[in-house]
Structures are given as C-alpha cells and as structure tokens.
Amino acid sequence: MQTMKKIAVLTSGGDAPGMNAAVRAVTRGALSKGWEVMGVHNGYAGLLGDEFQRLQARDVGGIVHLGGTVLGSARCPEFVQPHGRKQALGHLAKHGIDALVVVGGNGSQSGSASLAREGFAVVGVPSTIDNDLYGNDVSIGCDTAINITLEAIDRLRTTASSHRRAFAVETMGRNCGYIALMAGIAGGAEVIALPEQELEPAEVAERLRAAYQRGKTHALAVIAEGARCGVHELMQYYGAHRKSIGFDLRVTRLGHVVRGGIPSAADRVLATRLGAAAVDTLAESARGVLVGMVRGDIVITPLEEITGRTRPADASLLELARVMAI
Ligand code: F6P
C-alpha cells in the first residue's frame, strides 16, 4: 500500500456549478489527513503546461458558493495523444504528486481512465450539468442547471399566458435529456422533447394544437439540446402550419446561461460529499475509479467500466409528464 503524501486536483471540461465546492472538499479533506495538495489550473491543459499551485486551507476559503471553477477549466485535445499524456505524467512526477483527483464529466473521466492505464493513481469526481455519467445517479452541477431552466420556464409562462402564446425552450445537456426532462416535469411543460425518445416536429406541433383546443392559455415545449427535433426544425414546421396550431410560437435558447451562477444547496452538498469521498478512496488505496452517488450512497466504479458508456435520462417519466399536461 502506497503512503499518500501529496495529491493534485483539477477541474476539466465544461464548468459546472459546485466544482469549487468539490475542490474545497478535496483540499481540506486531504489537508486534514496531513497530505499536501496542489491545484492544477485549466484542467488537463494545465497538466501539460505545468500550471501547478500549492493549495492551503485558506486558498479554498470563500469559494463554496461560487459558480464555475476558480482553478479554471479547458477542453484539451492534446491530452488524448500519448505524447500529451507523457508530458503530463512528467510534470506530475516533477512535483512529486502521488495521486490526482479529476473533477469533470464524461470526456474528462476518459482522460482519467487513460492516466490510470498508464499506471498513475487517479480518482474521478463526476461533475457535469448533463448528468450523463455511467456509475453515478447525479453529477455536480445538474441540480443548479435544472433550477435555472425551471426559472426560465416559470418566467416564460408569464408572457405565454398573458399573450396566449407557446414557447419552445431549448436547454443544454449535450446528448442527454436529463435537464430538459426534470425541468419540464417540474415546470408543467406541455411537451418535452429528448434525444432518448425523439419526437417529430409535427408531433410537437400537434400537442401544442391540442393544448390550444383544450382551452389552455399557454403551452411550454422543453426541448433538449440533443433532440433531433430541435427548436430550428420546430420553427420551420411552425412557419408552414402557423394557422392550424392556434398558439403563436416563440423560441428561447438558454445556452450557457444554464451553466452559470451560484450552485444550489444540493450541488454544494453533493460536491462536498464526493470531493471528501475521493480523498477517502485514495486513503483506502483504491485507484482508477469514479466516486459516484448511487441511490444516496457513495459508490466507486472502475473508470474502465464507465469509459465509452453514458447514462441516459429515464424516458419512462415522459408518460407522467404527459398525463400532468392534460
Ligand atoms: O457538457 C456541458 C455542456 O454545457 C453541454 O451541455 C453542452 O453541449 C456543451 O457543454 C457546450 O460546450 P462548450 O461550453 O464547449 O460550448
């Protein structure tokens, strides 16, 4: 069993609200075990570029409530290349780092898996608004993203009802419909379009038309970024069938707004638990694993098992949303 003396932590991929709480938890969890901690700036790009900074307890003070990541993040294609990883491993060795904690989503944890394959001690902490990581029920950032989407839905409903309009709201999530599904159910959406269960534009329009005919004063269609029937396709269809739908239809694309701002309490608590658990996992000599939350418990899954897999949203909940929209 290797005795841990010094670890590094980085945040990688798309920033997610709660990443800072995770960095704080990793740092303070490790310091409390008597280890040294180095923060790596700008994700894997900082590993390649030798951007290390010693972190003490006060360096991670006053960040638990901040969105984004104080360490900075990046998407780093060079890290996929063997020469990029060699450079990264060289810098980790130069600083005497025994293990690395990677806070990030799917792409970032594939990077962790390749470092683990090279024999380096890595633990992944799932952080992505998309909530699409295998081996984990809920990732850091997705609760805040759902709440931001929900707030937008609630606000748009005000105008929709006042003007008897329909709104199509596009929210982020890459190829996973989790944010759209949860925000759509919580916001009482008339239609939810997900990549996990595709709808044709004609079907979305038909549901809006039916809502109009049932006497609704508004209709909300929540469209996941990755759905094939996107807001563009929907507007094209609407342009050709405007009269028969009843509602006037407008589009709002939330884009990166969904990823910004302060993390929710749930994301801060999740990030604190997962960050501390990553340190405990290293203390127990487990390596090459993702530390996730499954049914409320900390569960570790080998990174090899999660690589190349994703976790889809539970499309069976669409039926519930449909019943609620009558
Ligand atoms: O993975 C998080 C995410 O926000 C996705 O929902 C979105 O598709 C993507 O990142 C956007 O990436 P970028 O910020 O690099 O444009």
For the chain, give the percent of residues with pLDDT over 70.
Answer: 99
pLDDT of 1 higher than 80: no
- The atom of ligand 1 lying closest to the CA of 105 is 1
Q: Please give the backbone phi and psi of residue 249, each rounded to the nearest 5 degrees, phi first.
A: -115, 130
> Which residue's CA is the nearest one to ligand 1's atom 10?
14
For residue 23, the model assigns a pLDDT of 98
Comparing 2-16, 152-166, 186-200, 286-300, which segment has the lowest mean pLDDT? 2-16
Cβ pair 102, 124 in contact under 8 A = yes
Closest C-alpha residue for ligand 1 atom 1: 14
pLDDT (mean) for 282-291: 96
pLDDT at position 3, please?
80
Average pLDDT of the chain is 96
Confidence at 75, pLDDT banded by 50, 70, 90: confident
Tell me how far the alpha carbon of residue 166 lies from the centroid of ligand 1, in angstroms: 26
What are the strands of the beta sheet with 289-294, ordered from one edge?
Answer: 52-54, 36-40, 6-11, 99-104, 121-126, 289-294, 297-302
Q: Of ligand 1's atoms, which has the minimum distance to the CA of residue 75?
A: 15
Q: In this structure, are residues 82 and 115 in contact, taking their beta carbons and an 8 Å threshold?
A: no
For ligand 1, the distance from its centroid to the CA atom of residue 149, given in whole angstroms, is 15
276-297 b/e with 16+ CB inside 10 Å = b?
bbbbebbbeeebbbbbbbeeee
End-to-end CA distance of the chain: 60
Kindly report the pTM of this predicted structure.
0.97
Which of 75, 76, 129 maximizes ligand 1 atoms within 8 Å of its Cβ, making it the mutation to test the pocket? 129
Phi, psi (deg, nearest 5) at residue 198: -70, 145
* For residues 274-281, average pLDDT: 98
In whole angstroms, what separates CA 85 from the centre of its chain? 25
The domains found in the chain, sorted by start residue, are: 6-141+263-306 (3.40.50.450), 144-259 (3.40.50.460)
Residue 130 annotated to the active site: yes
Question: What are the pLDDT digits (tens) for 211-235?
Answer: 999 999 999 999 999 999 899 999 9
Phi, psi dihedrals of residue 273, rounded to the nearest 5°: -65, -45
Q: Is 104 in the pocket of ligand 1 (CB under 6 A)?
A: no
Q: How much is the pLDDT for 218?
A: 96
Q: In this predicted structure, what is the pLDDT of residue 97?
A: 98
pLDDT band for 80, please (50, 70, 90 cuts).
confident
Nearest-CA residue for atom 7 of ligand 1: 174
Task: Determine the Cα–Cα distance for residues 169 and 159; give it in Å rounded to an integer.
Answer: 13
Residue 177: half-sphere exposure toward Cβ, Cα within 13 Å = 26
CA distance 177 to 240: 27
Shortest CA distance to 150 belongs to which of 191, 189, 193, 204? 189
Judge whether 275 and 23 are in contact, CB under 8 Å: yes
Q: Is the CB of 172 under 6 A from ligand 1?
A: yes
Q: Which two tokens stand for residue 22?
A: 């995770």
Q: What is the DSSP letter of 74?
A: -
Say how many residues make up the chain: 326
Q: Give DSSP secondary structure letters for 257-289.
A: GGG-SPPPHHHHHHHHHHHHHHHHHHHTT--SE
Cα(220)–Cα(223) distance, rounded to whole angstroms?
A: 10
Query: How many Å apart are CA 10 and CA 319, to the nearest integer?
Result: 40
* Angstrom distance (rounded) from CA 22 to CA 62: 13
> Is the pLDDT score of 2 beyond 70?
no
Q: Is the pLDDT of residue 118 over 90?
A: yes
Between strands 52-54 and 36-40, the pairing is: antiparallel
For 148, the enclosing helix (H) or strand (E) is helix 142-163
Would you say the CB of residue 14 lies under 6 angstroms from ligand 1? yes
Q: What percent of the chain has pLDDT over 90?
A: 97
Catalytic residue among 15, 50, 59, 130: 130
For residue 104, the model assigns a pLDDT of 98
* pLDDT score of 193: 97
Ligand 1 centroid – CA 174 distance (Å):
6
pLDDT tens profile 20-73: 999 999 999 999 999 999 999 999 999 999 999 999 999 999 999 999 999 999
| Amino acid present at 210 | A
What are 308's two structure tokens?
């190349």
